[in-house]
Structure 1
């Protein structure tokens, strides 16, 4: 996707204004690698650009060795042309085995080494992957989720670069050296400093490439550079500690290893020898030292490396926790015994008291394991030439759900203090205490730090992280953050905590210590995931695999597979199934908050409330009428009411209904309930959905009886239908597709059940696949348009347009979501943006390539008879009187939200007028997003003849070249008889 340009890039360029700006996309090799600054990845062997150069946007192909890019008039055109390049790559160059680890030296030492003279020794190894710092926000950072966007502008003999983040001085030197320019001729403007090693590297990558392209093209170029596929190398920390039996600390050794970073991308791909010394900001060894009173301390690390403070804090705070556990001491009390800094010790006591600390406090409640952990950090760094002392202490509470594998932080108590100068004379002024805005920002930073510590699962059913709830909503995934004032300074007024600041440094260690308290699993590598814990627990229990899993089945070979398939087929063909005994409703606290939150997102993706809520009724209490060609089916009550809902359903009964379409009592469910799609939902998501539904309020409500024609009201016949049209199979990702594509496919084909509305059905009501997959369907009298190249839209859908439409309910190139789609968009808007992006990415893969087309000739009035001319003239007057105020094209005022263009509206270009008639008669009373505005209905204002005239005018005026609709009177009659949406 195209990330938004930083604000400072929005103005006109010195090279002639925005009209002269060109857009670029880079064709990365299938494998990137390097060895001692030399490129060893896949090498370009051949380039065929003929197809790319025929694409719209006046594309230009730039090649320098293995660097290949396309420059065009827009980012979408550049991306399309780039996809048409025919590139032939060789295999990567074999590595010579030379290690990339930097040379080590002693960074800091104090005291006289007394190794081997103490009673207790302990060694531990830790790993830290440097991710996004808590000083940046996920919502504003354009890297790495969608790519980083930068711009280079030639200005005579000079070159100006605009970046969203980066070190201007370093990047200016790199670009000047790459292009053989004096450094004084390169101006670099950056929105903010880099927040992590990844951002430093990304800024150098994009700057070199865009600068090279701008000079090659001789004009301003904007580049969206997606993340490179270099593997992230962790910082390795080896700790050795010695202490006496009474717990008195002795010798402490910290050995740090860190790989050398790759040269910037442009240097690598052009095979230019990297001419600069490592210009990263080396860390003062004393800043990495443990704050505790070790008799002797030594830190060995890579020379000149920018070692993350968070890495050393992570290792030493878990290590200290392990020492306290080893000798049976409380983690907080043991720290206080060996913390010589009186101010830091006071903060530790305040935080422990504020959190009600009474030790790790492990709790077990069914499958829920709870625990808490402590961590502390102290730093002394230079900011603008002035020493700044920072302290921070955290208590983190975590939950792990063994049933679903969900790991979540439920509460954090954090204290922070920061003082400038060597004294604290002005530190306690009354007006220096945190105000509410500062508290909110610090709380947000705490949540960001926790989100970066908890690694999302990498599978197709991994849910994107969303750190901010929507207005008026509380999300169970957001932990409670309690802040303890520690006497803050004016330096904290703007809350510009830098990457080296102490506030979020203890986050990872506190969470790791809490995980150990809850589960007994000691995680020494960050970030963490529930999968790490699951595997460790299985190892502890001596079970290396899940019972009944594929490994067990594999031992029987093809015979076992065939027998299982035959059994599944016979089960589906059974006209009646056994009842699953009712159970007592699960306790409200049986499932963790994270599991319930995950289930809420599954329910949002599946639009459960849209179908299971009657107009004006209680959410999920059923009674919504679903019109089918075979009669009316009313949705059921899925609240946890034990008599009229699913409160007495076990998980086994729930899963059977979702995957096989079988009620708890053994009855077959009608496929108006799309179990054919829900069968694809993963086990973790299915359990989470059950947990969420069981945690909702119970509502006693019995829906009306279904009204289906014979023989479709005979439920046993559905066994044969299932045998013909249903596959009870969990979604399997396509290994040849990207993770984003597979995530989108999982959401669309599984919980989202998009095919239920957007695919045509055969005579027996089964969805058609193949070329008809997502090829358009009908639901409740509305046309669900094709989501593939079969779409009638005059403007092809792009990924960005799909994302905008699904996220907000509006696309200025396609129109507004109305009818049954409006509540679907309202549900999707509550999902994390990353999940909606995945859906858009998947659907965009089915769109036809954009090609230049000839505009069809308009239907001239000379070809119309007098009756048709009169009808269109009447329609034009109706439009000008009732519609033009909101829909007229041009520069008039925008009323009631947005002003959608009818010329690109999909409904006007459809083969049927049904959707447009519904909107004209019934309006848009409940838009997907209130900001879009409401449209009144004209059912009581216009006669059928007037509606017909208006339709004739709209079709001829805004769908140029399309023939007049047929069967309009019948469509109007059907719409008047149908309740409005």
Structure 2
């Protein structure tokens, strides 16, 4: 029933229940319709059963009223059979009982309406549309399998408790016999609806055939749930408000797809009472009447939008300033104080024109206010919010952008006296800032999530041009006005209440700038252009995007149980997908995910084909060789379905059911968003196929027993998708998503426990070892003599060089080479996130510590250092001597700030001296020759002793230098 949505069932049933897994496809009616929970769409009249059942692998046809499905051995067979069904549909005559007009009910009445007492009347219609799905794949996939006397349903996202209740009602089973597992909570209402649709149909088919059924559903396009609001107001020329009426009508929400097509009476519709008082305007209209003809709750944001734009139209018709007009007719003194505070912060002047033209740009400012009562922490909380939005419209390009917002928010327990001190905690201010930006982005054709790929440096919040805004228009600055926070023991709620005025403030600002009234959100420059050309308001064709906040605790439990399985079922192979199936934009996005994840770094053997595998990964338990991830159908992943690919990435399970070793960092890749995961799959399948079989892993007993990894996963793996921290900035969350997810920085830069799992807490990013190289700490635990700043991190990750820290070498060099191909804004986000861990680091290079008599070097140590100094002068000084000589072979890095010189171990420095830097991260850096064939072990010991004492004064001499040299000489180097 939903738009293009992709649900992938990553959790699988036990092997026994999937022994006879069938695949199903649904033949949807050409017209889906409903009214008052009754089906009014096309009706099934007949079907060509023999043609479909005659195909090999087709087992049965399921028909129940207007639900028509084919069940076969494979999805391809089911899809082919569906094409041969040739169902005959007819649209019946209108059902008078279903289509008769719904009767309006009075929801709220205040005062007594007195007609004929007022001079002016204004009527206007407004439209509010619910959000629509944002995923692009046309398929919806779910798995339903018999489980004892009941059934288990696996979904990638959804509300398990609610869906279990729906399925139990549909199948007439006790709800205790229905188990629903999902990978995560739905992101919004339409994801929830999509999961509900596919789960119900899959469950019905499973009950019909008595076997496990995987349903791939291609839903029909359904309109967004729309709320229409008609406002009528009477008022005098002096501004006195008289009678106002608000009439609300709403599309009838459809029941879940299985209930609808089978014409089963849907008895689970939410019949919660609507609070009419919450829908009434806050101003001193003499009488107020709110009525509605609807079957679902009214979004408070819809009524706020309509009422605030309507009052702006009243003020405009009277020629009064909209802020002053509100102040004159708002009985709530606390609300008036907030409005004054925000207007003052925005430098709002009643006598000044709020719109202006500068060249071909039209600028305007608009105001909106909201007051509501919500339930928070089990008690009623009253919330006030006021916004001033500033917009700019470019007449030449037709681009509309919000340039600035001044917003104020206050909250206190309902009935509690207002506070007297203006306090707004900084943490809450940051949270409000984030929520404000999200609301603005949604009002302007949608927001940007943590997994949106930026396009230019320093602007990770840039809105993509596909949303109707200019490509280089950043989200506006948001100024939060310090307002009284009356209830200090209740956390400031930065939810829907704060953002209620957003859409109305933008609409009012657009009118001030252009004279065009936008009565339907979201807004775009195209609406204004059409309105200006036609001298009439544009009808918004886009749909409101509504972000839902739901928990995922139940999904986490289901995922944990799945991870604990010692062996898993095979996912059937497929023919390699045609690369033409994927758009260029999807493939490009996948390429960026692959770059952030450094896929080619680990999956390419020295001298081998890209991503063909064979790279040796040294672990404490033996050697693991990377796999072939090219789309070769025999030695690579060419025969992997997306479901198999996603399971491997999120759960560490091979297509054939084997557990993958966590040297493959699925523990991090699990955090990748669905959109990025699909794009990565598309990118890999679009690359050249290479036939290459990597060597077999060489692991010691018992670490070569893969079933043991089930226990490892239960202990150490969390398969949840990354969730942004609402208390942090967009930039920080974007960096966290890249570092913790695709970038998997902790895989190298965090220490590991005895079982090879990354240590968290204070050890997170605290340094580790990989392939014999030390991955230094990225936090305040860093041994660097100078702290890493955001700018230094950005420069290092983009170029491979920092004048205050050194050059990227070893495994880090190819990582930087990959990161350099990402948009600068994404690298900036990584640097910003990592810089947040630098608190407590040293602020300046460590000063030399004079040696005491007890610390005085022995004669042997002095001779060693002297020999080392001569070696340095002959082989190293030309490139590393500070302050003298020309710069050769690229840059001239200082050893005095090099982290390797200040480390507790000499390994990295030994590797660089012996093997050099043959392939720098950036060709402009130049290369460094290796001296493995020039220096003996004794000379290496002398050189290292000199370098440590000269460039890391105050650090103790390294221990175990000879062993480090032996290890390095034994290591295979490219």
TM-score w.r.t. the length of structure 1 is: 0.52
CA RMSD of aligned residues (A): 6.1
Instruction: Kindly indicate whether residue 528 of structure 2 is the aligned counterpart of residue 533 of structure 1.
Output: yes
String of CA shifts for 1:283-335, please: whole Å, max 9, x gaps: 21111100101001111102553111111111111000101110111111111
How is 1:81-160 mapped onto 2 (pairs within 5 angstroms)? Answer: 83-87=79-83, 88=85, 89-91=87-89, 93-94=91-92, 96=94, 99=99, 102-131=102-131, 154-159=146-151
Q: CA deviation at 1:512?
A: 0.9
Which one of 474, 478, 481 corresponds to residue 478 of structure 2? 481
Change (3 A) 1:120 1:923: closer
Report what 1:346 is aligned to.
Answer: 337
Show structure 2 runs of 5+ residues with no match: 463-473, 540-578, 592-607, 613-628, 656-671, 696-746, 749-754, 759-767, 773-809, 821-826, 831-907, 920-928, 933-973
CA distance, structure 2, for counterparts of residue 316 and residue 350 of structure 1: 22
CA distance, structure 2, for counterparts of residue 23 and residue 492 of structure 1: 55
Report what 1:208 is aligned to.
Answer: 200
Kindly indicate whether the alpha-carbon contact (under 8 Å) linking 1:52 and 1:82 is maintained by their aligned counterparts in 2. no
Is 253-262 or 279-288 further displaced after alignment? 279-288
Report what 1:440 is aligned to.
Answer: 430
Kindly indicate whether the alpha-carbon contact (under 8 Å) linking 2:630 and 2:636 is maintained by their aligned counterparts in 1. no
Change (3 A) 1:790 1:219: closer
Q: CA deviation at 1:391?
A: 1.4
Kindly indicate whether the alpha-carbon contact (under 8 Å) linking 1:158 and 1:186 is maintained by their aligned counterparts in 2. yes
Report what 2:405 is aligned to.
Answer: 412
Q: CA deviation at 1:413?
A: 1.9
Instruction: Kindly indicate whether residue 174 of structure 2 is the aligned counterpart of residue 335 of structure 1.
Output: no
Report what 1:229 is aligned to.
Answer: 221
Q: CA deviation at 1:856?
A: 11
Change (3 A) 1:143 1:151: farther
Which one of 356, 363, 381 corresponds to residue 363 of structure 1? 356
Kindly indicate whether the alpha-carbon contact (under 8 Å) linking 1:151 and 1:210 is maintained by their aligned counterparts in 2. yes
Q: Matched residue of 1:525: which SS? A: coil
Change (3 A) 1:483 1:832: farther
Q: Matched residue of 1:377: which SS? A: strand
Q: CA deviation at 1:249?
A: 0.3
CA distance, structure 1, for counterparts of residue 379 and residue 638 of structure 2: 57
Change (3 A) 1:276 1:377: same
Change (3 A) 1:542 1:497: closer
Change (3 A) 1:183 1:19: closer
Report what 1:758 is aligned to.
Answer: none
Change (3 A) 1:162 1:307: farther
Q: Matched residue of 2:357: which SS? A: strand
CA distance, structure 2, for counterparts of residue 522 and residue 492 of structure 1: 41
Instruction: Kindly indicate whether residue 365 of structure 2 is the aligned counterpart of residue 372 of structure 1.
Output: yes
Report what 1:273 is aligned to.
Answer: 264
CA distance, structure 2, for counterparts of residue 4 and residue 236 of structure 1: 35
Q: CA deviation at 1:28?
A: 5.3
Kindly indicate whether the alpha-carbon contact (under 8 Å) linking 1:131 and 1:452 is maintained by their aligned counterparts in 2. no
Report what 2:817 is aligned to.
Answer: 927
Change (3 A) 1:530 1:25: farther
Kindly indicate whether the alpha-carbon contact (under 8 Å) linking 1:376 and 1:392 is maintained by their aligned counterparts in 2. yes
How is 1:294-693 mapped onto 2 (pairs within 5 angstroms)? Answer: 294-302=285-293, 304-358=295-349, 361-382=354-375, 386-424=379-417, 433-436=424-427, 438-455=428-445, 466=452, 473-476=459-462, 477-488=474-485, 501-540=496-535
CA distance, structure 2, for counterparts of residue 749 and residue 188 of structure 1: 35
CA distance, structure 2, for counterparts of residue 317 and residue 898 of structure 1: 62
Change (3 A) 1:440 1:260: same
Kindly indicate whether the alpha-carbon contact (under 8 Å) linking 2:29 and 2:66 is maintained by their aligned counterparts in 1. no
Q: Matched residue of 1:511: which SS? A: helix
Report what 1:38 is aligned to.
Answer: 39
Show structure 1 runs of 5+ residues with no match: 133-140, 545-739, 753-780, 814-830, 859-884, 900-919, 944-980
Change (3 A) 1:357 1:390: same
String of CA shifts for 1:113-138, please: whole Å, max 9, x gaps: 12332101111111110227xxxxxx
Kindly indicate whether the alpha-carbon contact (under 8 Å) linking 1:249 and 1:295 is maintained by their aligned counterparts in 2. yes
Kindly indicate whether the alpha-carbon contact (under 8 Å) linking 2:157 and 2:183 is maintained by their aligned counterparts in 1. yes
Kindly indicate whether the alpha-carbon contact (under 8 Å) linking 2:25 and 2:79 is maintained by their aligned counterparts in 1. no
Q: Matched residue of 2:255: which SS? A: coil
Report what 2:244 is aligned to.
Answer: 252
Q: CA deviation at 1:177?
A: 2.3
Change (3 A) 1:2 1:293: closer
CA distance, structure 2, for counterparts of residue 495 and residue 21 of structure 1: 53
Change (3 A) 1:471 1:82: farther
String of CA shifts for 1:492-523, please: whole Å, max 9, x gaps: 9667766xx41111111111111112221111
String of CA shifts for 1:792-815, please: whole Å, max 9, x gaps: 9843287959999xx99xx999xx
Q: CA deviation at 1:194?
A: 7.4
Report what 1:744 is aligned to.
Answer: 583
Report what 1:568 is aligned to.
Answer: none
Kindly indicate whether the alpha-carbon contact (under 8 Å) linking 2:391 and 2:506 is maintained by their aligned counterparts in 1. yes
Change (3 A) 1:925 1:788: closer
Kindly indicate whether the alpha-carbon contact (under 8 Å) linking 2:17 and 2:146 is maintained by their aligned counterparts in 1. no
CA distance, structure 2, for counterparts of residue 497 and residue 102 of structure 1: 36
Kindly indicate whether the alpha-carbon contact (under 8 Å) linking 1:152 and 1:210 is maintained by their aligned counterparts in 2. yes
Report what 2:958 is aligned to.
Answer: none
CA distance, structure 2, for counterparts of residue 193 and residue 22 of structure 1: 26
Kindly indicate whether the alpha-carbon contact (under 8 Å) linking 2:227 and 2:249 is maintained by their aligned counterparts in 1. yes
Change (3 A) 1:837 1:182: closer
Q: CA deviation at 1:110?
A: 0.9
Q: CA deviation at 1:443?
A: 2.4
Q: Matched residue of 1:246: which SS? A: coil
String of CA shifts for 1:845-879, please: whole Å, max 9, x gaps: 9999xxxx999999xxxxxxxxxxxxxxxxxxxxx
Change (3 A) 1:855 1:423: closer
Structure number with the bigger relative contact order (C-alpha 8 A, sep ≥ 6) is 2
Q: CA deviation at 1:397?
A: 1.6
Q: CA deviation at 1:412?
A: 1.9
Q: CA deviation at 1:538?
A: 1.5
Kindly indicate whether the alpha-carbon contact (under 8 Å) linking 1:395 and 1:412 is maintained by their aligned counterparts in 2. yes
Q: Matched residue of 1:388: which SS? A: strand
Kindly indicate whether the alpha-carbon contact (under 8 Å) linking 2:75 and 2:216 is maintained by their aligned counterparts in 1. no
TM-score w.r.t. the length of structure 2 is: 0.52
String of CA shifts for 1:735-764, please: whole Å, max 9, x gaps: xxxxx99992588899x9xxxxxxxxxxxx
CA distance, structure 2, for counterparts of residue 470 and residue 22 of structure 1: 47
Change (3 A) 1:893 1:250: closer
Q: CA deviation at 1:246?
A: 0.3
String of CA shifts for 1:633-663, please: whole Å, max 9, x gaps: xxxxxxxxxxxxxxxxxxxxxxxxxxxxxxx
String of CA shifts for 1:1-30, please: whole Å, max 9, x gaps: 86577xxx96x96x6799889796754526
Q: Matched residue of 2:637: which SS? A: coil
Change (3 A) 1:279 1:520: same
String of CA shifts for 1:906-943, please: whole Å, max 9, x gaps: xxxxxxxxxxxxxx999947432489999998788899
Kindly indicate whether the alpha-carbon contact (under 8 Å) linking 2:252 and 2:294 is maintained by their aligned counterparts in 1. no
Aligned residues: 622
Report what 2:277 is aligned to.
Answer: 286
Kindly indicate whether the alpha-carbon contact (under 8 Å) linking 2:8 and 2:643 is maintained by their aligned counterparts in 1. no
Kindly indicate whether the alpha-carbon contact (under 8 Å) linking 2:142 and 2:153 is maintained by their aligned counterparts in 1. yes
